């Protein structure tokens, strides 16, 4: 009887433990949510804990990011083709404001 209950309790405890731990890398910012509301966003790199099934974590890269657009063709006043290749370099400085503005996209 005890062996059967241990077969259920040990995997369940391991599952709950694995779902209550999250890590934040040096190159990441993290936001902790509870039912979709922001609870905390000031996490140092390392291991952190959350309440499984109530809290979830969304991580964002805090390195310099690049969006590269495909080249576009424009016509000048002289009716000559001009190909413009553009890109944007950016970094998230305030992760809460970024999430509220873009909903994480």
Question: Which pair of structure tokens corresponds to residue 72?
Answer: 């576009």
Q: Give the chain's domain count.
A: 1
pLDDT digit string, tens, across residues 23-72: 999 999 999 999 989 998 989 999 999 998 899 999 999 999 999 999 99
Q: Which residues does 7 contact at the CB level (< 8 Å), separation at least 6?
A: none
Domain of residue 42 covers 2-102
Cβ burial of 48 (10 Å; 0-12, 13-18, 19+) is: middle
Angle (nearest 5°) at CA 100 between 99 and 104:
30
Mean pLDDT of the chain: 90
Q: Evaluate the CA torsion angle 6, 12, 18, 21 in order and state its sign.
A: negative
């Amino acid at each position: 009887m005890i062996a059967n209950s241990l077969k259920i309790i040990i995997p369940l405890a391991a599952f709950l433990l694995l779902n209550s731990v999250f890590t934040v890398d040096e190159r990441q910012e993290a936001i902790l949510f509870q039912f979709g509301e922001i609870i905390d966003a000031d996490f140092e790199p390392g291991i952190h804990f959350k309440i499984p099934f109530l809290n979830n974590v969304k991580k964002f890269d805090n390195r310099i990011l690049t969006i590269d657009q495909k080249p576009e063709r424009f016509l000048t006043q002289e009716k000559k083709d001009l190909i413009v290749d553009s890109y944007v370099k950016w970094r998230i400085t305030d992760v809460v404001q970024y999430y509220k503005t873009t909903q994480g996209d």
